[in-house]
Amino acid sequence: MQMSPPAIEVLVKQFEGLKLEAYRCPANVCTIGYGHTSQAGPPIVFDGMKITKQQADDILSSDLHKFEAAVDELVKVRLTQNQFDTLVDFAYNAGIGALKSSTLLRKVNAGDFDAVPVELMKWTKGGGRVLPGLVRRRQVEIAWWNKTDEHHVDAEETRATPDPAPQRTMAESKQGNAALVTASFASVGAVKEITAQAKDAADTADQLVGLLGNTNFLIMSAIVGLAAAIWYWRKKNMDRDGV
């Protein structure tokens, strides 16, 4: 079987969203197109990678073939098109390995279709926390699982924005924190040298000349400048990439 075009639009494209430039998903995995990652197969995704919409559609089509084949192999009972669509979307989102080892699959193969909604709702966490986007996706998968030809699931009603990747802050940056600590200690040393020079020099000009000839002061100043540059570089990268 193949995933139906309406299911691809409602279950996959609406929830994955289309990104033509690589980004980091909530699990910090490099992702592009309609949720494509290197784990799904070629192309390998890397930071800064860009593709066209046609390439995104082609990649999705190629990826779906693998998940469709996996569901065909793993499921031992007869499924309706909508049920097949639901399991393909689940595998696409959670992974083939997750489907293979899940109680969800065991319930399906046992013919206990009524248990599927409960099992689907167990898969709503990412990074150890419940993600609203996953909750909504599971809810729509349940609606699709239970859908008959007379029960239409409106794509507009299921439109969702992927959960943004959690952005790290400078407080979580080891390099940034180390730079701040280093700059703090160096600043204390520089202030001591300035204070000592102020006591020995008669005027401001003499103080400046003395400081410029003071090796300790120059070293401390260089350390402060270098630490500030490291902190700025880390902040710029984190603001841009979140890593």
Q: How much is the pLDDT for 215?
A: 72
Q: What is the pLDDT of residues 192-233, one digit of tens each?
A: 655 665 555 555 556 555 656 667 656 766 676 666 666 566
Between CA 92 and CA 84 the distance in angstroms is 12
Q: How much is the pLDDT for 57?
A: 96
Q: Give 5-158's CATH code, choosing from 1.10.3370.10, 1.10.10.10, 1.10.530.40, 3.40.50.300.
A: 1.10.530.40
Give the DSSP H or E segment for 211: helix 204-212
Q: How much is the pLDDT for 81?
A: 97
Centroid of chain to Cα 137: 17
List the domain boundaries for the chain.
Answer: 5-158, 170-241
Residue 164: phi, psi to the nearest 5?
Answer: -65, 150
Distance set, CA 174 to CA 47, 122, 191, 239 (Å): 22, 35, 26, 15
Q: 46 with 72: CB under 8 angstroms?
A: no
Between CA 29 and CA 37 the distance in angstroms is 7
pTM of the entire structure? 0.61
Q: What does the pLDDT profile of the chain (243 residues) look like in tens digits? A: 999 999 999 999 999 999 999 999 877 899 999 999 998 889 999 999 999 999 999 999 999 999 999 999 999 999 999 999 999 999 999 999 999 999 999 999 999 999 999 999 999 998 788 999 999 999 999 999 998 754 444 444 444 444 454 455 545 555 555 555 555 655 655 556 556 655 555 555 565 556 566 676 567 666 766 666 665 666 665 555 444
Residue 80: phi, psi to the nearest 5?
Answer: -75, 170
Active site residues: 16
Task: Write out the two tokens for 18.
Answer: 């289309």
CA count, 13 A, side-chain hemisphere, 174: 0
Q: What is the pLDDT of residues 154-172, one digit of tens each?
A: 444 444 444 454 455 545 5
Between CA 106 and CA 140 the distance in angstroms is 21
Asked whether the CA dihedral 190, 195, 199, 204 is positive or negative, the reply is positive
